[in-house]
Structure 1
């Protein structure tokens, strides 16, 4: 129904953003809301999810993220929130690589994904992720590095800036956060806020 939306971001919150287009404001649930800033002009790829009591729009920075989201929704036991959680801490290319390699150990790193669900993702999606099939056949993903932890840290830093912390405070928080590994964006933000409050 909506392929994409272009407009100005007027609100950023933990579960998503609002993009204003003329007199309308579209509420979008996104994997990493704090990657955006209020006032930013964006083009967001969207996916409409319909349930009995609501029509929900999900927004993504790239078509690959959007396609991965839709693919994950086809997996038994994974809903929109679970799919967003996976995309918030992992790049689509790396996720597809794990699926094709049957790397369930990597998939269980994502929030709420246990061994059984990881195996179900592999069973349902191996060879079926449309945006990546051709690239996989060409070995495009063989050299893809796992940068999800670094991505999560960068997004946490952006979130702290959006919350109004000074550059000095953000820099101090970043130094402390780099001592911790294998954390999601939310975990980095919570740890940073704890450190900033304790040292205030």
Structure 2
């Protein structure tokens, strides 16, 4: 397992950064890659996902956020893309508090999280977060305002609509998260959510 990579940001894409160290460039998927400065030396805390068809690295500025990402991966129905979107949606401490307080309303506003997934997050992580030493104050040194995405409504209904069409929850959540990225600051009607999510899911 690659615990962290220290090197220079060679270049960025819309989804990832490439960090060069000792002549090797590592493609690392992360939240807001364009905020990483090209040519700057960085330390990226990583998690490696190994599958038959790919070895993928996910990266974080803080070790504790990476550890929270790993805990989310242990929740049934949450894959790396959804876990990455959730940890990058705002203040991670607010996420921990929501789990502690069983705040399903907050959790279902996170990217790719429907009602069932929110319930599983609380059920699976409440004790694990405590054992791992996480609390709402764990991330108090670097507070981040919850992004506007978290306050939007409509994504949960779109996820449920896709599930009614035969998608499982992870597939539906991923498609809606991709649609959200396309819509940007726009808040579309439910039928547009569904149409765009279906189009994007078919391209995968």
* Same fold (TM > 0.5): yes
Note the C-alpha offset of 1:3: 1.2
Residue matched to 1:116? 116
For the residue of structure 1 that corresponds to 2:147, the secondary structure is helix
Distance 1:17 1:130, change over 3 A: farther
**Contact 2:111–2:149 under 8 Å retained in 1:** no
Which residue of 1 is the match for residue 79 of structure 2? 79
SS in 2 for 1:82: helix
| 1:145-184 aligned within 5 A | 147-149=145-147
The residue aligned with 2:20 is: 20
- Measured after TM superposition, the shift of residue 37 of structure 1 is 1.8
Are the aligned partners of 2:110 and 2:149 in contact in 1 as well (CA < 8 Å)?
Answer: no
| 1:33-74 Cα distance to aligned partner (Å, 9 max, x none) | 122121121000111111121111111100111011100000
The answer to whether the 8 Å contact 1:67/1:130 transfers is: no
Is the 2:28–2:57 Cα contact (8 Å) retained in structure 1? yes
Distance (Å, rounded) in 1 between the aligned partners of 2:70 and 2:14: 21
Within a 5 Å distance, the mapping from 1:2-81 to structure 2 comes to 2-81=2-81
Match runs of 1:181-192 below 5 Å: 186=181, 190-191=184-185
Alignment root-mean-square deviation, CA: 3.0
* Secondary structure of the structure 2 residue equivalent to 1:96: helix
CA distance in 1, matches of 2:12, 2:94: 27
How many aligned residue pairs are there?
156
What SS does the corresponding residue of 1:129 show, helix, strand or coil? Answer: helix
TM-score normalised by L of structure 2: 0.67
Give a deviation string over 1:153-185, Cα, whole Å, max 9, x none.
Answer: xxxxxxxxxxxxxxxxxxxxxxxxxxxxxxxx9
Q: TM-score, normalised by structure 1?
A: 0.68
Structure 1 portions without partners, runs of 5+: 153-184, 193-200
Corresponding residue number in structure 2 for 1:156: none
Structure 2 partner of 1:175: none
Moved over 6 A (4+): 143-146
* Structure-2 separation of matches of 1:7 and 1:131: 32
| Mapped contact 1:96–1:132 kept (Cα < 8 A) | no
Give the superposition deviation at 1:130. 6.2
Q: 1:101 deviation in Å?
A: 0.6
For the 8 Å contact 1:99–1:122, the answer to whether it is kept is yes
